[in-house]
Amino acid sequence: MATELSDFKQMSGTLNIAGGTAHIPVMKKAAQAIMTTNPEIRITIAGGGSGVGAKQVGKGLVEIGNTGRPLKPKEAAQGLNSYPFAIDGVAVIVHPDNSVANLTQAQVIDIYAGKISNWKQVGGADAAIHIYTRDEASGTRSVFVKKLLNKGSVVNSANVVASNGAMKSAVSRDKGAIGYSSVGYIDAMVKAPSLDGVTPTNEACANGDYPVVRKLFMNTKGEPSGLTKQFIDYIFSADGAKYIQASGYIPVAAQ
């Protein structure tokens, strides 16, 4: 799709985007390029999680509602259209000083169910495991529970954080922590142990070696038009692919 920044030069107006926090780095890079090209365009970007994205776009409060999972039937029933634009992995993260280099899926399931409560039970230090999770509206949580926990339980005592960024910050400050985040958010602040011997990298997500993957979706109410359509087309352009890769994700071609 040959949409370039020049296509925005004759446009003006406001575009509001909200929802899944994994999407924010991509949206911000695109928005900054567009608004620098044309100051008559204003693009606002908010998080809130996938549930919030679907709800707000369904109510007409935003033009694009982002989700890190496919729409639920009742969400789609609001007349929403979905545009998958990237592939992302979801991975376990721990404090950088944690000596545990690999976890099995079975161990992660038992940790989140409360059956394993000390790091020494999985080869680490003799220290309590502090569990971090996301709220029910999170697409990252939805994929983690479904694909990594095999729909297993999360202990009620888990610390709940509001976004991928908040998860990374919380885990980076707590030496006993275990959490999970979008692979695109993993950097030197946290450590991602391998899962059953597979390191969660973009390459492993793309080639199928790493199994806990999901698509990131932009959603609109009805067919997009004007600035909204132009923005979506731009995400599927060569520029958009660069922003997606720079944010740690894998671009998906327009469908």
pLDDT tens digits along 219-239: 999 999 999 999 999 999 999
- Provide the number of structural domains found in the chain: 2
| Host domain of residue 145 | 89-207
Query: What is the pTM for the complete model shown?
Result: 0.89
**2 pLDDT exceeds 60?**
no
Together in a domain, 114 and 179: yes
Together in a domain, 83 and 93: no
Together in a domain, 93 and 121: yes
The tens digit of pLDDT for each residue in 118-173 reads: 999 999 999 999 999 999 989 999 999 999 999 999 999 999 999 999 999 999 99
**Residue 50's CATH number:** 3.40.190.10
Task: Name the residue with higher pLDDT: 227 or 202.
Answer: 227
- Amino acid making up residue 86: A
Together in a domain, 192 and 232: no
Together in a domain, 93 and 83: no
**67 pLDDT exceeds 70?**
yes
What 3 state SS string does the chain have? CCCCHHHHCCCCEEEEEEECHHHHHHHHHHHHHHHHHCCCEEEEEEEECHHHHHHHHHCCCCCEEEECCCCCHHHHCCCEEEEEEEEEEEEEEECCCCCCCEECHHHHHHHHHCCCCEHHHHCCCCCECEEEEECCCCHHHHHHHHHHCCCCCCCCCCEEECCHHHHHHHHHCCCCEEEEEEHHHCCCCCECCEECCECCCHHHHHHCCCCCEEEEEEEEECCCCHHHHHHHHHHCCHHHHHHHHHCCCEECCCC
Give the range among 35-44, 100-109, 185-194, 246-255 with minimum mean pLDDT. Answer: 246-255
Together in a domain, 175 and 201: yes
Together in a domain, 9 and 79: yes
Together in a domain, 198 and 141: yes
Together in a domain, 77 and 93: no
